[in-house]
């Protein structure tokens, strides 16, 4: 009976985490005007006004849930590493470079197979309109903060303590990909989720994974800003 109850609790909290990620991803897509049809030029203006609010509220939800759920269901401290704080940041930066290599490799494979990943045009237009300095605090810091607390600090740690490693890696990475709501980029987001889960298990530190995620996002934003060019 105890084993059955533990299994039921695991499934309940797992479903809660997956549904939360999926719902936030759907809400984000609705806010960005990307669910129905092709984005229009007005979508860039809409993102310019709403994306900071979306990411702020998303991060509050993810951090709040992670703190509550982890306290209730994941024993032990958040961090179990001998690395000093600055060393964690340095390791995170290196993992961020690994993320860039891994995502570029997956993107190259997709191009070779004839279905290249595509970022939402309204998102690229948003970066072009706002400029990298206006976007970086939100996409480079605020977004990764909530995602790392929830997907690695809570979901991966919870699944790793209740199930096998394979389930923990795949479910946390798939939920992370679902949040981003970009079908053509799902392989890239899955890869990022798997690498970050590996980094969390290796160093047991949200600081490491947050730094890696922030470095990756910041470089992607700068690249997208360069590709978008100046607003005409």
Task: Indicate if the pLDDT at residue 43 is higher than 60.
Answer: no
- pLDDT (tens digit, 9 = 90+) per residue, 197-227? 999 999 999 999 999 999 999 998 888 777 6
Positive or negative, the CA dihedral 220, 224, 230, 232 is negative
Cα distances (angstroms) measured from residue 11 to each of 8, 55, 153, 156: 5, 28, 18, 14
92 vs 145: CA distance, rounded Å: 13
Under 8 Å between Cβ of 77 and 63: no
Task: Indicate if the pLDDT at residue 35 is higher than 90.
Answer: no
Residue 45, classed as helix, strand or coil, is helix
- pLDDT (tens digit, 9 = 90+) per residue, 151-191? 999 999 988 888 889 999 999 999 899 888 788 889 999 99
Q: Can you give the pTM of this predicted structure? A: 0.83
Cα distances (angstroms) measured from residue 110 to each of 117, 146, 153, 174, 187: 7, 29, 30, 18, 9
The pair of three-digit structure tokens given for residue 104, joined into one six-digit string: 């570029």
| CB atoms near residue 156 (< 10 Å) | 29
159 vs 21: CA distance, rounded Å: 15
Among 22-36, 43-57, 194-208, 213-227, which stretch is predicted with the lowest mean pLDDT? 22-36
- pLDDT confidence of residue 58: 86
205 vs 104: CA distance, rounded Å: 25
């Amino acid at each position: 009976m105890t084993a059955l109850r533990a299994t039921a609790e695991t499934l309940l909290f797992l479903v809660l985490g997956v549904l939360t990620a999926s719902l936030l991803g759907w809400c984000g897509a609705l806010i960005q005007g990307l669910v129905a049809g092709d984005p229009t030029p007005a979508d860039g203006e809409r993102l310019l006004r709403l994306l900071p609010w979306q990411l702020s509220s998303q991060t509050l939800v993810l951090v709040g849930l992670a703190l509550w759920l982890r306290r209730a269901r994941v024993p032990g401290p958040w961090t179990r590493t001998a690395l000093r704080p600055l060393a964690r940041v340095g390791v995170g930066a290196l993992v961020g470079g690994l993320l860039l290599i891994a995502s570029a490799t997956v993107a190259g494979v997709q191009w070779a197979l004839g279905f290249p990943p595509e970022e939402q045009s309204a998102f690229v237009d948003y970066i072009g309109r706002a400029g990298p300095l206006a976007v970086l605090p939100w996409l480079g810091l605020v977004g990764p903060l909530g995602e790392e607390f929830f997907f690695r600090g809570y979901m991966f740690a919870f699944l790793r303590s209740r199930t096998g490693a394979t389930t923990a890696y795949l479910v946390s990475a798939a939920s992370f990909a679902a949040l981003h709501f970009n079908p053509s980029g799902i392989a890239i987001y899955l890869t990022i989720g798997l690498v970050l889960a590996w980094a969390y298990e290796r160093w047991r530190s949200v600081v490491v994974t947050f730094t890696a995620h922030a470095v990756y996002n910041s470089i992607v934003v700068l690249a997208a800003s360069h590709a978008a060019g100046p607003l005409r």
